[in-house]
């Protein structure tokens, strides 16, 4: 066996890679040889391949020069696919698998099954706190059970980490900060879980607050990780301004103490500590104007102190905080976009180098592209693979140039469909039916119909309002279904049916607004059924009726923009929400460990907020009424209550009542918890505000720059690519595919193209690839000029290196690849 | 007398003006002739001139062709000065005085005395409400007195309006919206004031809420007017989003009513009206979590309703509101800058056309420039006028070209000073003294000295904190002066003295930071004296000591930037504050008219907030304590209380307690007042936030773009221009000035230049003109490229017209102006 040739070939590939990443040590090459030697003997490498390609590769024991080269091409495809994946996921190249064993681990750890397992483990660990003491009453589990579950989950995490260790290698693993933190936390949790299992009782386990790390590290939580990174990047300027805020607070606390402490009836400034706490709470406005009142009733001019303080702290520095975060956020967003873009470009460069042959160093043929795609998107049909190639190959040249290939990420998400000859779904129906449907279609699309529906919705809205106002005595569920409900529902139902028949189900459901209409109508229908059949637990569906009114906002362009943006922002908002929940979780755990069961009805009698915790029977006239302060409900008795309490703290109003209640039952130091929480949520909330500001200002700038409304409802197509396929091309491609991967199932789609041509009798078919527009597309258009500069800068920095790697490839054995064209 | 020549000359000037403003009708020309005829007979025109130029002009009865031309040049100078003033104040050109009578009125109405009178009248009218019933107790005036005062003030306003009518002409006056509104309000107020005087008692005078109009219309309140305009410009998008907010509110109110009204212990949702009010208050978070508690205690899942509502309304739509306002604000700021810039350019164009002679249509000579300046800045010394000319004349050509003249507004505010030969103020002292001062100078400028002072300040800060913490028993004034106070004050005193001697008083006081140090030290000193001499009312000065700590923020660049920006923003912030106060005033008047004396201790027993208005004696143990709710202090009993109440409403927290208290004592409709106020302050506050955001983001972008910290403390020079004056030049100019205006007093400064040259023995002197950098300078640098586009666009639009006016000038009689150079 020509070990040397395989060695050189493999080393070549990896050396190329070395040249581009500058991370590798040359000593690895010798280790490769050993690896390959054992692998060649065992043939286990192909089994790993099999995991990714459903079609069987060449038999592993078939040994010839040609086969080994074929195998080396397959390796190249796979590596290119990995590079492209890394580019897509923004994985750094220094975690790129460096040897076959690493590759095996990499492939094992990079598929949806594994990701799902990661996610489930993370969620399981977090959900456990519902059942651990202090548990939600209905979900309480025995210590045995939840400790065992925890150990199981931790073992899973340990297994995942082992796979990562195998894939990254010890050296990289040690240097990868996130992974190291995860490992440490894992060890800690392991020890603790075992201790719990042995002692049969939970000790003070504040470290549970670290559990979200396992979730955050999941592949699927990339957005949360990015959010966290952005938060940390915004921190330095934020902390600077925060210090300014605290500094003014201390100065004013000293002033306030000096001015107001002589007034004995003023509980807010009687000690310096109280003074500082009062002013801290005052920044959140939660104790205003109460904090001012004792001083104000003594001397009217004391209001000046509070007005000056609030003007400086609340109206100036807090806004400054927002400005600084907004500015940093802006910069970070642009930098992120830039680095992502260049990372993708670099990934494409790497992949391109792996796909070109020595004879044609400047182009990728269809065969190579197809080989790549089989690894990159194993589930993609052969037709789509071919169409993607066509979409990239805009020049119509026999090969893809590097410039063509740079568009890779733009075309990869396209959904391909043959362009229909007609416009309507009912074009093929008999004439009479066609006319009926055509009529409905015209009706549904007419302005008159739309505005009639708006009027109906408006009338419905007024009706509901008046109706609700009429039954001021209180709403009761057990009433008859009002006839107006049935009338309006019928109208909506007819509208939905007309639209579905007129536009065709596909066109109808592709619009977000229609989907919204449809679901509201279906809900209303379900509500009717629940009312009719008296299914009490589902009554709440009935009250969703007023949501129909939201349709009215379609009338004005600005609202459409706002609501569309809202929908578009939703994924990002959700990830920000998730980030917030992760912070909540950690704080909830800490809160539960320290403050579980400390507040209860009629507690906190020593504090100034005792009234809010009161629960006594009061006799008014001859009725006994329960006089409740209710604040004992804002406790940390289990994780769900803690979440609600933390949400209340986030909204800030009256948060000091919860703080003072807990403080009066524990120690002064508890305030630290609440103040820290306030500052943390302030950071996250400021980021959220900055995000919304940024997103909207970006959109408005965009639509101003491009002089077009961003999301015209008529123009919901997003990005469209076109590819025309001729009969000969399709036949040639089918032939080629049959040769390279003889599995028939994946070729069905390509044969379908030929069949469609036969049916329509034309010699070519035009396919349209569509995908929705993403923020990245908008940014591409916004920063058009800057992007060219970045690219120029990037290629200045990287050109010599990629040239060098090309030269090094000249040493490789030329793979005898049968080209389609030859 | 050659009436025709004067006619043509004047008509030419005004026609030119017509061509540029496109506002004039040609019929005016004939009216001019009449006007000029009567004027020529009476000679009253020059008396008006005398009001502006302190130096006597040519005698009015001196009649010759030459004199009339000289007079027409003077008229040109004056008109050019008016144009430049209009350009500076952003007055539209259609209010430009069109005939000598108008000019007389214009000049009468455009000087600081008149402005002052306007301002005082406006302030007087507003201050009156302190004394009118319901008055501040100590300031109560009899109805006679305040009604008479009011009538007087209104007569003053009427007089001002008459002058304006005279100046604008009836036609323009009618078309000028602001003036018309003012006139209507004036009439209304007049009638009302007379009614009050006759009836001897104040009736329901809600129209007093319109009084701020008189103040806003003042010349000095231009910034407030601009703010108001900006607020109104931001309104349309704001209202759109507000509707969205209210819409969701109504939908959720219906949902909430349906869900929670069956719960009889829930007072927040028992009727639809209560439901809407509760959710309105919830948007401000003021009743959270109380509003949730009854429902939450019944069913834990009801928190979902509130969380969803708050997430949509508070965290999404409210931020959207900010985004929309911020975006509009951004656009408006840029447009404002553009229109101001082009307006100034147009004013310069007009003035330039008036200053050039027929022989030299492309340049303005020193004589003409000086003539202009005597009208434009009557108080400017002859030296500064000459130096300004030199600063404009960068090319050193005998005349100013139009391009030179475009820099007019940049150089007009410069303060001129001869460049000193040495650096230090003590350079001229004897050698020994020089060395001592030099040593002090070096010491003061050394890093070591600065950091020592920082350490001292920090130690002082910690000391104060610890000291205050120690006397936790309560602060008492009648203590001995602590020795630490004296020690630190001595150190600060020595520092101030060293710095003043080392840097020289001028250099010392030109830095804002030093001024701050100085005043804090002086305050501390005054505090020491008050303590030592037991002057009780001034004790508050002592507590200002901790402000010293602010000096620590000089250490970090970001803080310096922030604080400097804070100082720079101060004028704008003040004008925004004034705008807010004007809104407050109107609301306070309405509040006083309707809600004066409605709340009092132990009122509002029918409302849910009765506790907050309670004032009863409670016996705890053997002590009787006053249990106070204090909220009866938040009333509308006089204008000062109203202002405090409105500030509390602005801060929003617990505002519903005030609202519910007042509502329970009046009608449900009172809520409308509070809700309207909330929305209005929300608009103003959003504008303030947008302003701060915009200002900071602008600065950060600026410093990023120009790669330099914006306000390096070493570089506080701002804008610097240089002009070198040679002996010959100075002599020639002096000669010229003596010829044109023989008043000696104004020539002193120019003779001073010659004296200085004699003293130093050099044949030329270099003068430096400095002014601080304004926002406009920054904007000029930021929008550099766009400005060139605007200019190009502007000259495309205006070039044919200015050419035409030049051609028309060819018809004028050439004024025989003696040029300096000839």
Q: Is the pLDDT of residue A154 over 90?
A: yes
Structure tokens at A790: 């970045």
What residues pair up with A767 in beta bridges, in sequence order?
A418, A723
Q: Is the pLDDT of residue A688 over 80?
A: yes
| Chain A CB within 8 Å of residue B463 CB | no
Give the model's pLDDT for residue A820: 37
Which positions 602-621 of B are in contact with A (Cβ < 8 Å)?
611
Give the model's pLDDT for residue B587: 95
Q: Is the pLDDT of residue B36 over 60?
A: no
Q: Is the pLDDT of residue B56 over 60?
A: no
CA distances to A334, A538, A791, B585, B647 from A783, rounded to whole Å, are 9, 50, 12, 47, 44
Contacts of residue A811, defined as CB under 8 A and 6 or more positions apart, other chains included, come to: A8, A12
Nearest residue in chain A measured CA to CA from B246: A550
Task: Compute the average pLDDT of residues B615-625.
Answer: 76
Pairing of strands A719-726, B615-620: unpaired
d(CA B39, CA B58) in angstroms, rounded, equals: 16
Reported as a pLDDT band with limits 50, 70 and 90, residue B662 is very high
What confidence tens digit (pLDDT) does each residue in B526-576 have? 877 877 777 665 666 666 777 777 777 777 777 877 777 777 778 888 888
d(CA A153, CA A145) in angstroms, rounded, equals: 12
| Chain B CB within 8 Å of residue A458 CB | no
CA distances to A114, A154, A574 from A121, rounded to whole Å, are 11, 8, 21
Give the model's pLDDT for residue A75: 80
Contacts of residue A493, defined as CB under 8 A and 6 or more positions apart, other chains included, come to: A521, A525
Structure tokens at A348: 């494409």
Give the model's pLDDT for residue B125: 92
d(CA A765, CA A753) in angstroms, rounded, equals: 8
Give the model's pLDDT for residue A543: 67
Radius of gyration, CA atoms only, chain A: 33
DSSP B633-655: GS--SSHHHHHHHHHHHHH-TTH
What confidence tens digit (pLDDT) does each residue in B672-709 have? 999 999 999 998 888 888 888 888 888 777 777 665 54
| Chain A CB within 8 Å of residue B315 CB | yes
Give the model's pLDDT for residue A708: 52
Give the model's pLDDT for residue A310: 93
Q: Which of B271, B297, B316 comes nearest A630 by C-beta?
A: B297
3-state secondary structure B574-586: HHHHHHHHHHHHH
Reported as a pLDDT band with limits 50, 70 and 90, residue B327 is confident
3-state secondary structure B193-256: HHHHHHHCCCCCCHHHHHCHHHHHCCHHHHHHHHHHHHHHHHHHHHHHHHHHHHHHHHHHHHHH
d(CA A717, CA A415) in angstroms, rounded, equals: 12
Give the model's pLDDT for residue A259: 84
d(CA B321, CA B505) in angstroms, rounded, equals: 50
Closest CA to A308 of A297, A293, A292: A292
E strands in A510-648: 615-620, 623-628
Could you tell me what percent of chain A has a pLDDT over 70? Answer: 83
Please state the ipTM of this predicted complex.
0.82
d(CA A518, CA A9) in angstroms, rounded, equals: 59
Reported as a pLDDT band with limits 50, 70 and 90, residue B44 is very low
What confidence tens digit (pLDDT) does each residue in B81-114 have? 888 888 888 888 877 877 778 888 888 888 889 9
Q: Residue A71, Cβ neighbours under 10 Å: how many? A: 20
| Chain B CB within 8 Å of residue A655 CB | no
Task: Compute the average pLDDT of residues A315-325.
Answer: 87
The answer to whether the CB atoms of A630 and B293 lie below 8 A apart is yes
Long-range contacts of B115-119 (CB under 8 A, 24+ apart): B115/B218, B115/B219, B115/B220, B117/B156, B117/B160, B118/B160, B118/B217, B118/B218, B118/B219, B118/B220, B119/B215, B119/B218, B119/B219, B119/B220, B119/B221
Contacts of A289 in chain B (CB under 8 A): 634, 648, 651, 653-654
Residue with tokens 């000359």: B9
C-alpha triplet A209, A211, A214: angle, nearest 5°: 155
CA distances to B10, B32, B41, B96, B567 from B28, rounded to whole Å, are 11, 6, 20, 14, 49
Reported as a pLDDT band with limits 50, 70 and 90, residue A535 is low
What residues pair up with B721 in beta bridges, in sequence order?
B769
Contacts of A265 in chain B (CB under 8 A): 626
The answer to whether the CB atoms of A288 and B685 lie below 8 A apart is no
Give the model's pLDDT for residue B280: 94
Reported as a pLDDT band with limits 50, 70 and 90, residue B741 is low
What confidence tens digit (pLDDT) does each residue in B450-493 have? 888 888 888 888 888 888 787 766 555 555 667 778 888 899 89
Contacts of B558 in chain A (CB under 8 A): 237, 240
Structure tokens at A744: 């028939």
Per the CB < 8 A criterion, the answer to whether A408 and A395 are in contact is no
In angstroms, what separates the C-alpha of B438 from chain A's closest C-alpha?
36
Judged by average pLDDT, the poorest of A236-245, A281-290, A732-741 is: A732-741
Give the model's pLDDT for residue A249: 92
Contacts of residue B294, defined as CB under 8 A and 6 or more positions apart, other chains included, come to: A628, A630, B260, B263, B265, B266, B267, B268
Structure tokens at B175: 């078309």
Contacts of residue B422, defined as CB under 8 A and 6 or more positions apart, other chains included, come to: B428
| Chain B CB within 8 Å of residue A332 CB | no
The answer to whether the CB atoms of B285 and A697 lie below 8 A apart is no
Which positions 691-710 of B are in contact with A (Cβ < 8 Å)?
692-693, 695-697, 700
Q: Is the pLDDT of residue B282 over 90?
A: yes
d(CA B384, CA B418) in angstroms, rounded, equals: 11
Q: What's the predicted TM-score (pTM) here?
A: 0.82
What residues pair up with B278 in beta bridges, in sequence order?
none
CA A339 distance to own-chain centroid: 19
The answer to whether the CB atoms of A562 and B241 lie below 8 A apart is yes
Per the CB < 8 A criterion, the answer to whether A733 and A386 are in contact is yes
SS3 assignment, position A666: coil
**Mutation test of the interface with chain A: which of B286, B314, B317, B323, choosing the one with the most A Cβ atoms within 10 A?**
B323
Reported as a pLDDT band with limits 50, 70 and 90, residue B213 is very high
What residues pair up with B327 in beta bridges, in sequence order?
none
In angstroms, what separates the C-alpha of A338 from chain B's closest C-alpha?
18
Q: Residue B56, Cβ neighbours under 10 Å: how many? A: 12
CA contacts within 13 A on the Cβ side of B111 = 16
Most confident of A10-19, A124-133, A323-332, A553-562: A124-133
Could you tell me what percent of chain B has a pLDDT over 70? Answer: 83
Q: What share of chain A is helix, strand, coil (3-state, %, to 5)?
A: 70, 5, 25
Reported as a pLDDT band with limits 50, 70 and 90, residue A7 is very low
**How would you label B565-602 residue by residue, b for 16+ Cβ within 10 Å and e otherwise?**
bbebbeebbebbbbbbbbbbbbbbbbbbbbbbebbeee
Q: Residue B431, Cβ neighbours under 10 Å: how many? A: 8
Give the model's pLDDT for residue B541: 66
How does the average pLDDT of chain B come out, rounded?
Answer: 78
Reported as a pLDDT band with limits 50, 70 and 90, residue B335 is confident
Give the model's pLDDT for residue A514: 84
Task: Compute the average pLDDT of residues B346-355.
Answer: 86
Pairing of strands A615-620, A623-628: antiparallel
CA distances to A725, B455, B460 from B485, rounded to whole Å, are 90, 16, 9
Give the model's pLDDT for residue B261: 84
In angstroms, what separates the C-alpha of B94 from chain A's closest C-alpha?
32
Q: Is the pLDDT of residue A552 over 60?
A: yes
Reported as a pLDDT band with limits 50, 70 and 90, residue B753 is confident
Note the residue count of chain A.
Answer: 822
CA contacts within 13 A on the Cβ side of A535 = 11
Structure tokens at B711: 């306000």
Structure tokens at A245: 């805020």
Structure tokens at B646: 């409105």
Contacts of A553 in chain B (CB under 8 A): 244, 247
Instruction: Return the higher-pLDDT residue of A429 and A312.
Output: A312
The answer to whether the CB atoms of A262 and B464 lie below 8 A apart is no
Structure tokens at B49: 């001139």
Q: Which of B272, B611, B692 comes nearest A319 by C-beta?
A: B692
Contacts of A327 in chain B (CB under 8 A): 696-697, 700
Most confident of B42-46, B321-325, B614-618: B321-325
- The H or E element spanning position B59 is none
Reported as a pLDDT band with limits 50, 70 and 90, residue A675 is very high
Q: Is the pLDDT of residue A735 over 60?
A: yes
Give the model's pLDDT for residue B133: 80
Q: Which of B259, B630, B633 comes nearest A543 by C-beta?
A: B259
Give the model's pLDDT for residue B743: 61
Judged by average pLDDT, the poorest of A93-102, A305-314, B180-189, B289-298 is: A93-102
Give the model's pLDDT for residue B37: 34
d(CA A347, CA A76) in angstroms, rounded, equals: 14
How does the average pLDDT of chain A come out, rounded?
Answer: 78
Q: Is the pLDDT of residue A548 over 60?
A: yes
Reported as a pLDDT band with limits 50, 70 and 90, residue A801 is very low
Contacts of residue A542, defined as CB under 8 A and 6 or more positions apart, other chains included, come to: A524, A527, A530, A531, B258
The answer to whether the CB atoms of A265 and B626 lie below 8 A apart is yes
Reported as a pLDDT band with limits 50, 70 and 90, residue A677 is very high
Q: Is the pLDDT of residue A214 over 70?
A: yes
């Amino acid at each position: 066996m020509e070990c040397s040739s395989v060695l050189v070939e493999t080393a070549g590939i990896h050396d190329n890679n070395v040249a581009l990443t500058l991370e590798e040590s040359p000593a690895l090459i010798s280790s490769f040889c050993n690896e390959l030697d054992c692998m060649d003997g065992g043939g286990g490498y192909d089994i790993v391949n099999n995991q990714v390609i459903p079609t069987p590769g060449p038999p592993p024991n078939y040994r010839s020069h040609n086969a080994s080269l074929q195998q080396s091409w397959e390796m190249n495809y796979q590596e290119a696919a990995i590079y492209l994946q890394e580019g897509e996921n923004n994985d750094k190249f220094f975690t790129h698998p460096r040897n076959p064993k690493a590759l095996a681990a990499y492939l094992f750890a990079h598929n949806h099954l594994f990701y799902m397992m990661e996610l489930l483990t993370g969620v399981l660990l977090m959900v456990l706190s519902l059942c651990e003491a202090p548990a939600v009453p209905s979900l309480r589990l025995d210590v045995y059970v939840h400790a065992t579950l925890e150990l199981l989950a931790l073992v899973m995490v340990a297994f995942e980490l082992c796979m990562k260790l195998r894939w990254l290698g010890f050296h990289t693993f040690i240097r990868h900060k996130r992974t190291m933190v995860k490992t440490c936390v894992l060890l800690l949790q392991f020890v603790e879980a075992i201790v719990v299992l042995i002692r049969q009782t939970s000790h003070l386990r504040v470290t549970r607050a670290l559990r979200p790390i396992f979730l955050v590290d999941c592949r699927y939580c990339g957005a949360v990780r990015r959010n966290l990174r952005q938060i940390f990047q915004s921190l330095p300027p934020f902390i600077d301004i925060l210090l300014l805020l605290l500094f003014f607070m201390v100065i004013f606390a000293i002033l306030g103490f000096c001015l107001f402490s002589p007034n004995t009836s003023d509980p807010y400034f009687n000690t310096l500590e109280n003074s500082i706490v009062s002013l801290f709470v005052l920044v959140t406005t939660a104790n205003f104007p109460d904090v001012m009142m004792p001083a104000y009733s003594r001397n009217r001019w004391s209001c000046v102190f509070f007005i000056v303080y609030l003007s400086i702290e609340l109206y100036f520095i807090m806004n400054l905080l927002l400005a600084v975060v907004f500015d940093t956020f802006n910069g970070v967003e642009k930098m992120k976009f830039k680095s992502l873009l260049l990372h993708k470009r670099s990934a494409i460069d790497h992949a391109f180098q792996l796909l070109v042959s020595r004879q044609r160093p400047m182009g990728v043929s269809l065969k190579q592209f197809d080989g790549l795609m089989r690894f990159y998107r194993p589930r993609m049909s052969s037709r789509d693979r071919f169409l993607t190639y066509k979409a990239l190959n805009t020049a119509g040249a026999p090969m893809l140039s590097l410039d063509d290939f740079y568009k890779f990420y733009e075309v990869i998400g396209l959904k391909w469909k043959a362009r229909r000859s007609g416009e309507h779904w009912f074009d093929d129906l008999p004439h009479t039916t066609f006319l009926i449907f055509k009529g409905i279609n015209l009706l549904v699309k007419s302005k008159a119909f739309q505005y009639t529906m708006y009027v109906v919705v408006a009338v419905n809205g007024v009706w509901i309002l008046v109706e609700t106002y009429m039954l001021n005595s209180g709403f009761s569920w057990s009433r008859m279904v009002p006839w107006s409900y049935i009338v309006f529902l019928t109208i909506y139902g007819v509208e939905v049916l007309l639209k579905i028949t007129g536009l065709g189900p596909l066109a109808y459901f592709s619009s977000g607004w229609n989907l919204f209409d449809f679901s509201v109508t279906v809900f209303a229908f379900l509500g009717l059924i629940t009312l009719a059949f008296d299914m009490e637990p589902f009554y709440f569906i009935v009250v969703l009726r007023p949501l129909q009114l939201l349709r009215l906002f379609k009338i004005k362009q600005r609202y459409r923009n706002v609501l569309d943006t809202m929908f578009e922002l939703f994924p990002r908002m959700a990830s920000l929400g998730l980030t917030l929940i992760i912070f909540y979780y950690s704080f909830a755990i800490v809160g539960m460990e320290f403050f579980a069961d400390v507040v209860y009805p009629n507690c906190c009698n020593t504090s100034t907020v005792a009234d809010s915790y009161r629960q006594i029977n009061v006799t008014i006239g001859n009725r006994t009424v329960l006089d409740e302060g209710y604040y004992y409900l804002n406790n940390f008795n289990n994780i769900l209550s803690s979440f609600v309490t933390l949400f209340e703290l986030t909204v800030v109003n009256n948060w000091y009542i919860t703080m003072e209640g807990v403080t009066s039952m524990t120690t002064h130091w508890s305030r630290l918890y609440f103040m820290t929480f306030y500052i943390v949520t302030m950071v996250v909330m400021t980021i959220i505000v900055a995000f919304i500001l940024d997103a909207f200002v970006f959109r408005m700038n965009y639509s101003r720059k491009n002089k077009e409304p961003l999301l015209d409802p008529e123009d919901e197509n997003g990005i469209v690519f076109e590819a025309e396929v001729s009969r000969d091309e399709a036949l040639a491609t089918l032939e080629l595919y049959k040769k390279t991967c003889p599995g028939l199932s994946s070729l069905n789609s390509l044969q379908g193209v030929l069949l469609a041509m036969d049916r329509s009798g034309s010699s070519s078919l035009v396919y349209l690839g569509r995908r929705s527009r993403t923020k990245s597309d908008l940014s591409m258009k916004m920063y058009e000029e800057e992007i060219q500069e970045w690219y120029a800068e990037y290629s200045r920095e990287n050109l010599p290196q990629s040239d060098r790697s090309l030269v090094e490839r000249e040493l490789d054995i030329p793979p005898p690849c049968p080209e389609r064209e030859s």
